[in-house]
Chain A
Amino acid sequence: MTQNFTSLPQELQLATSAHVKYIQSLDSRKDEYDYWLTEHLRLNGLYWGLTALHLLGHPEALPRAETIDFVLSCQHENGGFGAAPGHDAHMLSTVSAVQILAMVDAFDDLETRGRGKAQVGKYIASLQNPQTGTFAGDEWGEEDTRFLYGAFNALSLLGLLHLVDVDKAVAHIAACANFDGGYGVSPGAESHSGQIFTCVAALAIAGRKELIDVDRLGRWLSERQIAGGGLNGRPEKKEDVCYSWWVLSSLEMIGKTHWIDKEKLTNFILSSQDTEKGGISDRPGDMVDVWHTCFGIAGLSLLDCPGLEPVDEVYCMPKSTIKRVLGH
């Protein structure tokens, strides 16, 4: 990126300190009704907030010990994690728990004070469908390539990918491919940028990227950029900051980020910031939330925006964490 960031108007500069304060404030909003309505996302929210903080270079902005305590307080006997204490175990919160513990280097705490890595791995492995290779979100059986990716993500971080049938899962992903090069929720489903991320990243973790139709997929993904510079999730839909992550990281995984206009995308994300009170929204002028804040910042990191730590395109976590945990 050759852009001179310091000469940009204020609304197009990264509002680092505002974002840090915004994320820190999220757990002190207990007098807001929404705080309680979103408790089922608490552990995911912690992952989104913590990832953003790590990428912003302020990993200490949330207290480490309390973070670990909270994560462990969400764990069930079967090894899985719920979204918050008293919530049922689910793949989505379990993956967030593992990602958070990886980021704050606390797998040891999981062994000594939690139920241990092996039990977490067992829980995740129990959700694989032995017939099709895909994964359910929990014991009630909803299946989706999001859960498959989540399983691969968490198990590989734990060093336990061998607990599942990787080949069968990979075959399932291949069955989700469409003529346009993209992937859907399940075989037969329309290509969707979010699901493309999950499928491509799962193939990356499995070391099977050769199955991807790179040219066709790259072309489809690059067409997600629309006039304002933002990316949409499917043809003829509106742009949204979170697709800055799903589309861009997928392009990165297939080596094609130069197929879109990075400067325009950078400006689109930056102009979706609330530079005063912090946070990023789906598009300029809308309400911010921690989800768009995380994926906006992760996108900016992939775009080499100055002042951000490099993000890993497969795990959506700092590259430094992945290097420490996986050794590469």
Chain B
Amino acid sequence: MADQGGSNHGIARTSRTRTEEQRQKDLERIKDYRALEDQVRAHAAKSDYSPDVFALTSKLLRLNPEYYTVWNVRRRCLISGLLSKPSPGSSPSKALPTSSPTATTTTSSAVSSSSLSTETPPALESQTTGKSGTTAEEGQQKQQDQQNDQQILQKELHFTIPLLLESPKCYWIWSYRLWILKQVIERLPVPVARKIWEEELGLTSKMLLRDQRNFHAWGYRRHVVEQLESPELEGKSLVESEFEFTTKKIEQNLSNFSAWHSRSKLIPRLLDERNADDEARKAFFEEELGKIGEAINVGPDDQSLWYYHQFLMLNLVNFVGHPTITPAFTQEERVTYLRREIEGIQELLEDYDDAKLIYEALFDYTLYLCQLQERKPNEQEVKDLKGWLGSLKKLDPMRSGRWADLERDLGLRVTMEV
């Protein structure tokens, strides 16, 4: 299975022998850690999720944020006492566990005023009056519950920040944080919830400033944006500002493929929502081509840039069945753009004749052109293709098996009937 933390990355190999003093120190730490762990587990085994246990989980998670079971104990502490009970018929309680020890067994130990009082209104009344017919007393109670919940949930968000900064690739912290944010939606009024979710964008920006490729942070950001756009938070599209964010990230570092990737995903929606007409789409396409062209001029060895360039070229040739930037381009326009790119890339060779990605692009795009025109490569193209393959073999012997396959396929392509 994929990495769940606990493996060593980039830590220098040192002598594994410890001095007796180090060993003793380790034993002390183990003793303290295990004592704490035993306490939490003993309470959890009795389904005791009281505030005391909650406090113990804080201590333990600071020592070991990978301890997923303890994050779960913490969740159970929240839903079986610290947070208010969601009123019947309110938000869906999908997030509530189905197979964990049930919260009902814990009311005696986890008494909080809110959990008791929500049980007092007779079920009959809420049935007859319906959801909207709440009494003044109930309204007041609800407000109190919400204030209490808001305070607790915001404290939880604060709690995880130093842990995330220290372990930015720990899956469990990210998923706990999202769970808390789900509680925010289920328990707080929309404007309050929305404000809290909006602040998450700031957190991901901060995390991506520290590590621009952290895929946890990028994934988390996508999720946050999706929620902020959803009806649950009375949202509207954020596609423009997210696109702007990728531009900013790329300007900070052209080699940030995570940002280029994100851009490729946002573009179809961006153009749709702009109601971009054919002219606007064409202008957009040219602007992107210009941007990536400049970048490649500076860094022709950077894979990130070529992948994005390929994405743009695929828009020209692979436009059936999925969203594309320029659906209305004529065949002639497609051919013209492709030819223009091929010529421009050929010029790059004057300055960089040892950049293998240039040869690869020329090879691919020439075949794209043939594909687009539904024809075999002509004599000059065959000569060029063979020459570029020769350079690839020379410059990149590690992938000689791939070049051999391409050569074989090229031979087939030239001889076959179209």
Contact = CB atoms under 8 A, between A and B. Distances in A.
B21 interface: no
A219 B8 contact: no
Nearest to B315: A179
Given A146-B2, A289-B8, A140 B72 contact: yes
Contacts of A218: 402
A229 B399 CA distance: 11
Contacts of B98: 126, 139
B101 to A, nearest CB: 11
Interface stretch (B11-19, B129-137, B280-288, B328-336): B11-19
B302 interface: yes
Interface centre among A36, A198, A283, by most B CB within 10 Å? A36
Interface string B30-42: 1001100100010
Nearest to B306: A235
A195 B218 CA distance: 15
A198 B3 CA distance: 12
A41 interface: yes
A61 interface: no
Nearest to A76: B99
A88 B100 CA distance: 9
A50 B12 CA distance: 25
Contacts of B264: 178-179
Contacts of B304: 235-236
Nearest to A283: B10
B417 to A, nearest CB: 22
Interface centre among A32, A44, A45, by most B CB within 10 Å? A32
B262 A190 contact: yes
Contact of A236 (B95, B219, B303): B303
Nearest to B41: A86
Given A146-B2, A179-B314, A260 B8 contact: no
Interface in B369-398: 397-398
Given A44-B1, A282-B8, A287 B314 contact: no
A140 B215 contact: no
A285 B12 contact: yes
Interface centre among B27, B97, B302, B399, by most A CB within 10 Å? B399
Is chain A's binding surface mostly helix, strand, loop or mixed?
loop
Given A190-B262, A223-B303, A260-B398, A139 B26 contact: no
A296 to B, nearest CB: 12
A96 interface: yes
Interface in B241-289: 255, 257-258, 261-262, 264-265
Interface stretch (B63-71, B106-114, B200-208): B63-71
A186 interface: yes
Interface residues of B, number: 70
Contacts of B14: 287
A264 B258 CA distance: 28
Contacts, number: 190
B34 A139 contact: no
B23 A242 contact: no
Contact of A44 (B4, B178, B215): B4
A31 B27 contact: yes
B2 A188 contact: no
A242 B171 CA distance: 18
Interface string A18-49: 00000000000011110011111100110000
B68 A88 contact: yes
B257 A150 contact: no
Given A186-B219, A191-B261, A237 B213 contact: yes
A258 B179 CA distance: 44
A225 B222 CA distance: 29
B6 A96 contact: no
Interface string A267-299: 000000010010001110111110110000000
B9 interface: yes
Interface residues of A, number: 80
Interface centre among A83, A126, A141, by most B CB within 10 Å? A141
Contacts of A282: 7-10
A141 B95 contact: yes
Given A236-B257, A277-B16, A92 B1 contact: yes
Contact of B4 (A92, A139, A190, A223): A92
A289 B13 CA distance: 11
A234 B1 contact: no
A150 B1 contact: yes
Contacts of B68: 40, 83, 87-88, 90, 138
A140 B94 CA distance: 9
Interface centre among B1, B94, B100, B399, by most A CB within 10 Å? B1
B66 A289 contact: no
A288 B8 contact: yes
Given A41-B4, A78-B99, A139-B100, 15 more contacts: A37-B6, A37-B33, A37-B64, A37-B66, A38-B6, A40-B67, A44-B4, A142-B178, A179-B314, A185-B215, A191-B261, A236-B303, A256-B402, A258-B405, A274-B13
Interface of A: 30-33, 36-41, 44-45, 76, 78, 82-83, 86-90, 92, 95-96, 126, 137-142, 146, 149-150, 178-180, 184-186, 188-192, 194-195, 197-198, 218-219, 222-223, 225, 229, 234-237, 240, 242, 246, 256, 258-261, 264, 274, 277, 281-283, 285-289, 291-292
Interface of B: 1-14, 16, 23, 26-27, 29-30, 33-34, 37, 41, 45, 63-64, 66-69, 72, 75, 94-95, 97-100, 171, 175, 178-179, 182, 213, 215, 218-219, 222, 255, 257-258, 261-262, 264-265, 302-304, 307, 310-311, 314, 397-402, 405
What 10 pairs across the A-B complex have the smallest Cβ distances? A258-B401, A291-B7, A142-B175, A261-B398, A259-B402, A235-B303, A287-B8, A194-B2, A190-B261, A287-B11
